[in-house]
């Protein structure tokens, strides 16, 4: 409760109503260097330019310096800011007693001058840094000109996850009080390194939305939709061996190893590897779009341009 009161005091003076907000916003993420994949016709309203990253000195590096030149008119462009996936670095970046935080904020404000908005996409935040993360978001919001749309991308959460992890860094309700838009990354139901499965099955998306709308104002809520696929290798063939295991493997496979005083031993063999691939297609994407369009939201966000199925932008309703 104390944190909520603190955030209300901190942010209410900085939040302003955004007049003439358009409903049914359609966001799409765009990598720098992949502008050629941007569709010539599409219903996209907002381009999330991915990404300017924070380096070890707290400076923005990479990404779009200015909005790209795209074939569609009347787009809003958002500078997306990320950090390396490193909780220790995130802890240092967010510490208000260190100079890096103010340096990061100053660079964000400077880089954002040509953009319509700024999005913070910090994913490697430890639960212990939750308060500093929220303070950082509020500080960025205060520092930006009032006409900049401030958005925050958050990891997908659902009730069962929140029950088991009640204090992680992504406090939807508090972030909702700070941001003008909250983009829920409703994908990676089955992530790299885990078990094989759908990128974002419809029942899972329903749970993600149900939790999100309980904690995020519907006129701020943007639901993320994946366009990609992912493969999983059932058998892991890269590993370290004890010498005893190597000799056992040689005997089992009935192969001979070469020997060199310079490079050591070596042998090679072929093996069958089973691969599971899950990917989004037009039916699965239409199902997710219909789900979110039937619910109170401000819009959807596609990750990412260039990964979509063939003819996707021609098929999506305009």
- Domain of 141, CATH number, reads 3.20.20.80
Digit-coded pLDDT (tens) for 69-114: 999 999 999 999 999 999 999 999 999 999 999 999 999 999 999 9
Please return the burial class of 317, using the count of CB atoms within 10 Å of its CB with bins 0-12, 13-18 and 19+.
exposed
To the nearest whole number, what is the mean pLDDT of the chain? 92
Q: For position 19, what pLDDT does the model report? A: 29
> Tokens standing for 140?
């960025």
The answer to whether residue 260 is domain-embedded is no
The answer to whether residue 299 is domain-embedded is yes
Asked whether the predicted pLDDT for residue 292 surpasses 60, the reply is yes
Give the strand pairing for 299-303 and 25-31: parallel
Q: For position 13, what pLDDT does the model report? A: 36
Digit-coded pLDDT (tens) for 191-202: 988 999 999 999
Give the whole-angstrom CA distance, residue 190 versus residue 46. Answer: 27
Q: For position 163, what pLDDT does the model report? A: 96
The answer to whether residue 288 is domain-embedded is yes
How many domains does the chain contain in total? Answer: 1
Angle at CA 67, nearest 5°, toward 91 and 152? 35
The answer to whether residue 130 is domain-embedded is yes
Helices marked H in the chain: 2-11, 87-94, 99-111, 130-143, 159-164, 172-178, 202-215, 243-253, 282-293, 312-315
The answer to whether residue 249 is domain-embedded is no
Give the whole-angstrom CA distance, residue 134 versus residue 170. Answer: 9
Domain range enclosing 95: 2-233+278-315
The answer to whether residue 238 is domain-embedded is no
Among 77-91, 113-127, 234-248, name the one with the lowest average pLDDT: 234-248
If pLDDT is split at 50, 70 and 90, which confidence band does 14 have?
very low
Give the global pTM: 0.89
The answer to whether residue 137 is domain-embedded is yes
Asked whether the predicted pLDDT for residue 181 surpasses 70, the reply is yes
Give the whole-angstrom CA distance, residue 135 versus residue 115. Answer: 23
Q: How many C-beta atoms surround the C-beta of residue 116 within 10 A?
A: 16
What mean pLDDT comes out for the span 277-289?
Answer: 97
The answer to whether residue 204 is domain-embedded is yes
Digit-coded pLDDT (tens) for 15-56: 333 323 344 899 999 999 999 999 999 999 999 999 999 999
């Amino acid at each position: 409760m104390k944190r909520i009161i603190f955030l209300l005091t901190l942010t209410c003076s900085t939040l302003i109503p955004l007049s003439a907000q358009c409903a049914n916003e359609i966001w799409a993420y765009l990598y720098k260097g992949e502008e050629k994949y941007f569709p010539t016709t599409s219903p996209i309203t907002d381009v999330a330019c991915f990404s300017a990253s924070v380096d070890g000195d707290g400076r923005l590096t990479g990404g779009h310096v200015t909005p790209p030149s795209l074939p569609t008119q009347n787009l809003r462009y958002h500078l997306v800011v990320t950090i390396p996936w490193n909780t220790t670095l995130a802890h240092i970046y967010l510490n208000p007693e260190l100079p890096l935080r103010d340096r990061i904020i100053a660079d964000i404000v400077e880089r954002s001058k040509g953009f319509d908005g700024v999005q913070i996409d910090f994913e490697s935040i430890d639960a212990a840094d939750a308060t500093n993360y929220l303070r950082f978001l509020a500080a960025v919001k205060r520092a930006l000109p009032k006409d900049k749309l401030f958005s925050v991308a958050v990891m997908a959460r659902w009730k069962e996850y929140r029950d088991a992890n009640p204090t992680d860094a992504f406090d939807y309700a508090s972030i909702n009080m700070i941001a003008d838009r909250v983009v829920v990354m409703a994908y990676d139901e089955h992530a790299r390194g885990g078990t094989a499965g759908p990128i974002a099955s419809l029942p899972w998306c329903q749970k993600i939305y149900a939790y999100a709308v309980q904690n995020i104002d519907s006129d701020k809520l943007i639901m993320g939709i994946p366009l990609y696929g992912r493969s999983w290798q059932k058998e892991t063939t890269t590993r370290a061996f004890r010498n005893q295991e190597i000799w056992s493997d040689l005997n089992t496979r009935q192969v001979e190893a070469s020997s060199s005083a310079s490079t050591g031993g070596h042998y090679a063999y072929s093996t069958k590897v089973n691969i599971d691939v899950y990917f989004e297609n037009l039916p699965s994407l239409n199902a997710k779009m219909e789900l979110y369009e039937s619910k109170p939201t401000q819009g959807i966000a596609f990750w990412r341009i260039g990964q979509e199925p063939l003819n996707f932008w021609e098929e999506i309703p305009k």
